[in-house]
A and B are shown apart, each in its own frame.
Chain A
Amino acid sequence: MLFQIAWKNIWRNKTRSLLVMGSVVMGLWVGAFMMAYAFGMIDQRLQDAVKNEISHFQSHHPKFEIDNEVKYFLSEGPEMLRKIRLDKRVKAATGRVIVNGMVSSANYSTGGRFIGIIPAFENEVTGLQDKLTEGAYFDENSRNKVIIGERLAEKLKVKLRSKIVLTFQDSTGNILAGAFRIRGLYKTYNATYDETNIFVRAMDIDQLINLPGQYHEIAALIHDPGKLDTVITDLTVAYPKAKTEDWKDIAPEISLMIESFDQYMIIFLIIILLALSFGIINTMLMAVLERVREIGVLMAIGMNRTKLFFMISLETICLVMAATPFGMLLGYFTVQYLGKTGMDLSAIYQEGYAAYGVQSYIYPKLEDIYYIRVMCMVIVTALLASIYPAITAIRLNPIKAIRKI
């Protein structure tokens, strides 16, 4: 009957209860949506980073990562690439020659990363060809041609077929300069990436740096990311001179972003729930103070303080739990719908998101466990929020309470 009383008490003041329930629904809806939005954004950033930039794993000379010196190439690069490409767990793999230097046009000079690629393999790994917005991809007639980002082209004030000069060091430290013609322009969702990376054919650049047929980097995608650790272990055993790392080690900032994201979301939810708890406390306190006389009678006829405390808590939980399914369902269906259709924020956030390497087309997603987690947090909030009103109730003196008009 305590439950019955609690449930009936909620509906004594319909407007007030509906307002609190509305705020619970809104809180859960917004909470679920914001989590899904941020998860979708993070997931997209990870997918883009893996697909466009870092792949599932990369192999380098152990010292290459420190200062990207040309002399630190993979000693068994071609053999390693061949073996990796034959591995059935590997979806695609490519070798790269990487040189840092200066890129200059008639108008402007800036730092750049010149990536010598095997066009067909690169396309399998990063889909570079699909990212072209102008011009054409490399073919056998593309000698001394480059593909640069649209943003870099704007910066250098060059266009398709313009000539640019790449200046860099060879493997012995000599400064070299080479003229290249722009064959294509590409665009990804990462502004920094587009402004920095310049693609040339590996065969055009390896000769210049005196490392014919060698690679500084092997990048690969695998079919099942769950087997990433095993693949890396096998490669490390087979090629101990090379350092093979997964995407988490290559791009720790993304890994950190994902790992810290859970904590951000908990903080975010706590803020929502804290605001909610004040609303609940206020409502329940009003409900208690409106019923002082009735509570006095309950105490007089023999309701002990434990039961009274339980009744007020139950009332609070009923109030919140009645609204929770609506908030959760609203959040769930919103996330499901927008997860399918996506949210196009290009009109407002494109530039800002591009600076962080994030697409402006977001697909919100949220794992089921998060809904359950949110629901548990809401119940805990309701329980905590009920403590003060319940204590207020049990502290009442039955005599004074009964006399209360």
Chain B
Amino acid sequence: MNNLPPVIITEDLTKVYDEGAIPVKAVNQVNLQIDQGEFTALVGPSGSGKTTLLNMIGGLDRPSSGKVWVDGKNLGAMKKNQLIDFRLHNIGFVFQAYNLIPVLTARENIEFVMLLQKASKKERNHRVLELLREVGLQDKMNNRPDELSGGQQQRVAVARALASKPKFVLADEPTANLDSKTAANLLDIMSKLNQEEGITFIFSTHDQRVIDRAHRVITLVDGAIESDELIANASDHIESV
């Protein structure tokens, strides 16, 4: 482990959904610390609270009780617009269903986040081309999502998540819809970015291919942490970050 303070801290984090007749505790008093540069997988069966925990860490959802500190900031104390702004500059999201903007090309989808950040045209062009090269889609930059395969779309989604130069990338089941080869390729890209740029990746997954690559595996059952394992060869990597 490095000597820097953790970048993500959750304190008794709880989320209760009480929209139905019976309240459902999706996340139950989770206490977690994640260091910068981790490549962490949240695993567990369906309904174990992986995605809910990920959403609360990403500031997309608010906890019912407890606190989330990300990069020293208490997300629960932020107003809606502050949270949106925080997400824009600090967090990249990768979704299971890619969720690209269908009317924009691959290049425009990546560039869009930077436009929201008010980056200069020169900076945008440079970053977009760099990311397209990283994910190996330079030749598809002018294609719209419906002209790309699932794997290619997810690579664009990863590039989009990284466009804002986030400190964290939260990926919700990123490989669920991909075949083995494509999934491996995508994980290679993310792993490389993690190592080269020190970006913290947190995956919500039950895909063994992702779990195998993770440096830390946190298992959730019924909204609570059942186990939290550091993978041996991963520790070396984290030390080096």
Q: Which chain A residues have a beta carbon within 8 Å of chain B's beta carbons?
A: 1, 4-5, 8-9, 12, 293-294, 297-307, 398-399, 402
Contact across chains for A302 and B99 when beta carbons are under 8 A apart = no
B110-118, B187-195, B205-213 - interface stretch: B110-118
**How far apart are the CA atoms of A399 and B93 in the complex, in Å?**
12
Contact across chains for B103 and A302 when beta carbons are under 8 A apart = no
Given contacts A297-B95, A301-B113, A303-B84, 12 further A-B contacts (CB under 8 A): A1-B115, A5-B103, A8-B104, A294-B102, A297-B93, A297-B101, A300-B93, A303-B88, A303-B116, A304-B85, A305-B80, A306-B81
Identify the closest chain A residue to B172 (Cβ).
A402
29 residue pairs A–B, Cβ–Cβ below 8 Å? A1-B111, A1-B115, A4-B104, A5-B101, A5-B104, A8-B103, A9-B103, A294-B99, A294-B101, A297-B95, A298-B101, A300-B93, A301-B112, A301-B161, A301-B164, A302-B85, A302-B87, A302-B88, A302-B89, A302-B164, A303-B84, A303-B116, A304-B81, A304-B84, A304-B85, A305-B80, A305-B81, A399-B61, A402-B99
Partner of A301, one of B61, B108, B160: B160
Contact across chains for B61 and A302 when beta carbons are under 8 A apart = no
Identify the closest chain B residue to A2 (Cβ).
B115
Partner of B87, one of A12, A300, A307, A399: A300
Contact across chains for B93 and A301 when beta carbons are under 8 A apart = yes
Chain A residues closer than 8 Å to B160, beta-carbon distance: 301
Asked if B55 is at the interface (CB within 8 A of a chain A CB), the reply is yes
**How far apart are the CA atoms of A8 and B146 in the complex, in Å?**
14
Q: Which interface residue of A4, A298, A398 has the most chain B CB atoms within 10 A? A: A398
**How far apart are the CA atoms of A307 and B112 in the complex, in Å?**
12
Identify the closest chain A residue to B103 (Cβ).
A8
Chain A residues closer than 8 Å to B161, beta-carbon distance: 301
**How far apart are the CA atoms of A175 and B43 in the complex, in Å?**
115
Write the nearest CB–CB distance from A290 to chain B, whole angstroms: 11
Identify the closest chain B residue to A305 (Cβ).
B81
Chain A residues closer than 8 Å to B81, beta-carbon distance: 304-306
**How far apart are the CA atoms of A305 and B116 in the complex, in Å?**
12
Asked if B60 is at the interface (CB within 8 A of a chain A CB), the reply is yes
Q: Which of B55-95 contact A (CB under 8 A)?
A: 55, 58, 60-61, 80-81, 84-85, 87-89, 92-93, 95
Contact across chains for A302 and B101 when beta carbons are under 8 A apart = no
**How far apart are the CA atoms of A298 and B109 in the complex, in Å?**
11
Q: Which of B12-31 contact A (CB under 8 A)?
A: none
Q: A300-B60, A402-B99 are in contact. Are A305 and B84 (CB under 8 A)?
A: yes
Write the nearest CB–CB distance from B211 to chain A, whole angstroms: 24
Write the nearest CB–CB distance from B56 to chain A, whole angstroms: 10
Write the nearest CB–CB distance from A38 to chain B, whole angstroms: 43
Write the nearest CB–CB distance from B177 to chain A, whole angstroms: 14
Identify the closest chain B residue to A293 (Cβ).
B99
**How far apart are the CA atoms of A278 and B112 in the complex, in Å?**
32
Contact across chains for B103 and A398 when beta carbons are under 8 A apart = no
Write the nearest CB–CB distance from A292 to chain B, whole angstroms: 12
Identify the closest chain A residue to B61 (Cβ).
A399
Partner of A398, one of B60, B88, B97, B111: B60
Identify the closest chain A residue to B99 (Cβ).
A297
**How far apart are the CA atoms of A302 and B84 in the complex, in Å?**
5
Question: What are the interface flags for B146-187 relative to A under an 8 Å C-beta threshold, 1 for contact and 0 otherwise?
Answer: 000000000000001100100000000000000000000000
Chain B residues closer than 8 Å to A12, beta-carbon distance: 102-103
Contact across chains for B60 and A399 when beta carbons are under 8 A apart = yes
